[in-house]
């Protein structure tokens, strides 16, 4: 993503260089971007480096600060069942949440992309939950999931099913969390919708001339054309899954039996409940590394499955030419 | 046939998405006796609008509202000003290290907030800002990567000839920005404002970490208090849930065409 934009600006600057470089230079541009530079140093870079430093210390919020080298990290990996437990819960959550999130968002976007009356109303309906705060969402879901009088169990009872006490049942609590998280994800649907609207109609036309049915069209036109959007949504979903905290704090508090005790929650509690700032910083850095590695792997793999429009156009033109050739010959 | 199926699915899923919200509203209006009925009653037999006022008065929600409005307003103004300046700097100037710096802007979006959370807390603690609204306002005045990116993309689509014509007429860079660029940026500035208002209004973790005195609480913190209190009626929780959701819903309703159009044009592709 970044590369393409950079290329874009580079082309522009190349075009500008000979005539305007001097006129646009000087101190002025730095004054314009100064707010960001200052904010970056004070609120991002400084804290980022500082958190790395803290992670090598025993650093309570009040009291004596002691340098302990890599002890926090050693402790984390060798002598902390809660660390592994919360990491495992988060990975399980991500494994459920990320694919479902993408499939559902894409499915809804495809439905909305049909020519229907009142599409603005449907779009609003799907997006509404994303507008509401996580706290309000959690309150609503704690009520929906109630074992005794929740609407979810009411609906199941209509089919003669006795539903569990969702949030207090270790078998279902994490699934319940996934569903509640999916409900507030309308923005991903909108991003997919924008991607779908960007697919040129003539691709579908030429595909159907070639005799491709709807399903074939979906896999050979729609999916390849929105792979950049899928990549974007995949990465943001992974990051979102690892940072899930609000819902867990409010819906289950990590329970029952730590079945929804997310990694982010463990980090939060280490810092602001047990005041182990150094240890929590080490946790945070490890999470950062996991997310970075996952993102890197996704980017790496994307070379194999993401198609950018430039390449697509060339290919489809080739295809068109080949098709025309076939027809006339 | 295909059309019918599409409509059926659209309606089915819309209901699925709206049902819990609808239920929250009707629960807020129910009387005590109808709360725990099973099967649940969708429409209350008596509409108790007094629930809203009662719930609002169980905690100092007027104060929470005031705090939330202050944070939201000041941080949104801050984002609009700082992000416009920075985006203009990146979009319209040539300078050493620009592309590198812009790459850093983009990279900051990837840093999980949790990594900087603890040092930021210590930083604000050192400054004496804990339990004030400052940690929730001040950082917004230095621009967020996401908005800078969004606005820069928009400025790049404006023809440079406009700037040049004004410069030839003797306008300074600032004049060009505020007389020519900003008036054309309307839709994308509205988009930034809407996003920031939503984020601020709905934020929970920021206030949770930085505020500990009830007089400084925001609406979301006030609502979450119900969770820990014993014996509070569910209809109070739902009444507050509904009340604090009205402003973001109203903003979304009026701004949705900008949001939808804005996402389509900011170039998520590539």
Q: For residue range A240-250, what is the model confidence (pLDDT) as tens digits? A: 899 889 999 99
Shortest distance between the Cα of B172 and any Cα of chain A, in A, equals 11
Residue with tokens 């590198």: B100
Please tell me the predicted confidence (pLDDT) of residue A311.
58
Per-residue pLDDT of A140-193, as tens digits, reads 998 889 887 788 888 888 888 888 889 999 999 999 999 999 998 888 998 898
A321 Cβ neighbours under 8 A, 6+ residues apart: none
Please tell me the predicted confidence (pLDDT) of residue B266.
52
User: Is A327 a residue whose pLDDT tops 60?
Assistant: no
Tokens, residue A283: 């946790």
Per-residue pLDDT of A286-316, as tens digits, reads 999 998 899 899 989 988 888 876 555 555 5
Q: How many residues does chain A have?
A: 329
Could you give the C-alpha distances from A76 to A85, A285, B116, in angstroms and in order? 11, 12, 19
What mean pLDDT is reported for chain A? 84
Per-residue pLDDT of A112-143, as tens digits, reads 988 888 888 888 889 889 888 889 899 899 88
From chain B, the residues in CB contact with A197 under 8 A are: 264
Tokens, residue B218: 């925001």
Please tell me the predicted confidence (pLDDT) of residue B229.
63
Mean pLDDT of A42-54: 93
Contact A150, A167 (CB under 8 A): no
Burial level of A205, CB count in 10 A (0-12/13-18/19+)?
Answer: exposed
Question: What angle, 0 to 180 degrees and rounded to 10, lies between the N-to-C axes of helices B61-92 and B98-108?
Answer: 150
The neighbouring-strand residues paired with A58 are A66
**Does any CB of chain A come closer than 8 Å to the CB of residue B170?**
no
The neighbouring-strand residues paired with B129 are none
Contact A279, A287 (CB under 8 A): no
CB contact under 8 A, A292 and B110: yes
B14 Cβ neighbours under 8 A, 6+ residues apart: A121, A122, A125, A126
The pTM assigned to this predicted structure is 0.85
For residue A320, the tally of other CB atoms under 10 A from its CB is 15
Per-residue pLDDT of B171-185, as tens digits, reads 888 889 998 899 998
| H or E segment to which residue A57 belongs | strand A57-58
B91 against A23, higher pLDDT? B91
CB contact under 8 A, A154 and B108: no
Mark which residues 110-149 of B lie under 8 Å from A by CB. 110-123, 125, 139, 141-143, 148
For residue B68, the tally of other CB atoms under 10 A from its CB is 26
Tokens, residue A148: 């005794």
**Percent of the residues in chain A that have a pLDDT greater than 90, as a whole number:** 42
DSSP secondary-structure letter at A25?
-
From chain A, the residues in CB contact with B93 under 8 A are: 24-25, 28-29, 32
- Give me the DSSP letters along B68-84: HHHHHHHHHHHHHHHHH
A260 against A116, higher pLDDT? A260
Q: Distance (Å, rounded) from C-alpha A292 to C-alpha A95?
A: 17
Q: Where are the beta strands (DSSP E) in B26-164?
A: none
Q: Which regions of chain B are under pLDDT 50?
A: 267-270
Q: Give the angle subtended at the CA of A47 by the CAs of A82 and B224, to the nearest 5°.
A: 55
Mark which residues 250-269 of B lie under 8 Å from A by CB. 252-253, 256, 259-260, 263-264, 268-269
Tokens, residue A310: 């430039």
């Amino acid at each position: 993503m970044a590369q393409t934009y950079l290329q874009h600006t580079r082309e522009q600057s190349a075009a500008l260089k000979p005539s305007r470089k001097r006129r646009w230079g000087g101190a002025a541009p730095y004054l314009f971007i100064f707010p960001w530079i200052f904010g970056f140093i004070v609120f991002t870079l400084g804290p980022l480096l500082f958190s790395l430093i803290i992670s090598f210390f025993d650093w309570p919020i009040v009291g004596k600060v002691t340098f302990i080298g890599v002890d926090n990290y050693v402790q984390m990996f060798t002598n902390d069942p809660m660390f592994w437990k919360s990491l495992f819960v988060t990975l399980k959550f991500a494994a459920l949440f990320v694919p479902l999130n993408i499939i559902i968002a894409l499915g809804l976007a495809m439905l909305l992309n049909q020519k229907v009356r009142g599409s603005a109303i449907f779009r609003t309906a799907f997006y509404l939950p994303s507008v509401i705060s996580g706290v309000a969402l959690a309150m609503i879901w704690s009520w929906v999931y109630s074992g005794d009088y929740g609407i979810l169990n009411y609906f199941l009872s209509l089919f003669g099913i006795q539903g569990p006490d969702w949030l207090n049942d270790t078998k279902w609590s994490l699934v319940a969390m996934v569903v509640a998280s999916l409900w507030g994800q309308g923005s991903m649907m909108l991003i997919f919708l924008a991607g779908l609207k960007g697919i040129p109609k003539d691709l579908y036309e030429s595909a159907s001339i070639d005799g491709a049915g709807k399903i074939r069209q979906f896999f050979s036109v729609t999916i390849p054309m929105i792979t950049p959007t899928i990549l974007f949504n995949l990465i943001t979903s992974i990051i979102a899954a690892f940072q899930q905290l609000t819902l867990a704090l409010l819906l289950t508090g990590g329970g029952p039996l730590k079945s929804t005790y997310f990694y982010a929650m463990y980090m939060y509690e280490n810092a602001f409940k047990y005041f182990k700032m150094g240890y929590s910083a080490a946790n945070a850095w490890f999470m950062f590394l996991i997310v970075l590695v996952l993102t890197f792997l996704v980017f790496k793999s994307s070379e194999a499955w993401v198609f950018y429009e430039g390449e697509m156009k060339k290919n489809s033109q080739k295809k068109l030419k080949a098709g025309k050739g076939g027809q006339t010959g | 046939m295909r059309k019918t199926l599409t409509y059926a699915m659209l309606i089915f899923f819309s209901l699925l998405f709206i049902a819990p919200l609808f239920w929250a509203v009707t629960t807020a209006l129910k009387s005590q006796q109808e709360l725990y009925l099973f099967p649940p009653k969708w429409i209350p037999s008596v509409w108790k609008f007094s629930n809203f006022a009662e719930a609002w008065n169980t905690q100092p929600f007027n104060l929470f509202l005031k705090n939330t409005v202050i944070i939201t307003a000041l941080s949104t103004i801050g984002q609009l000003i700082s992000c416009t300046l920075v985006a203009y700097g990146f979009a319209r100037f040539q300078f050493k290290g620009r592309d590198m710096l812009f790459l850093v802007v983009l990279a900051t979006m990837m840093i999980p907030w949790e990594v900087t959370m603890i040092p930021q807390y210590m930083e604000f603690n050192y400054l004496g800002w804990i339990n004030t609204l400052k940690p929730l306002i001040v950082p917004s005045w230095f621009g967020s990567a996401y908005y800078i990116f969004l606005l820069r993309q928009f400025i790049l689509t404006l023809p440079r000839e406009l700037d040049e014509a004004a410069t030839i007429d003797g306008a300074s860079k600032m004049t060009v920005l505020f007389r020519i660029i900003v008036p054309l940026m309307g839709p994308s500035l509205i988009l930034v404002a809407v996003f920031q208002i939503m984020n601020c209004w709905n934020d929970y973790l920021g206030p949770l970490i930085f505020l500990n005195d009830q007089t400084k609480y925001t609406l979301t913190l006030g609502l979450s208090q119900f969770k820990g209190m014993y014996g509070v009626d569910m209809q109070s929780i739902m009444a507050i849930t509904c009340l604090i959701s009205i402003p973001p819903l109203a903003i979304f309703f009026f701004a949705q065409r900008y949001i939808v159009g804005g996402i389509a044009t900011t170039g998520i592709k590539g």
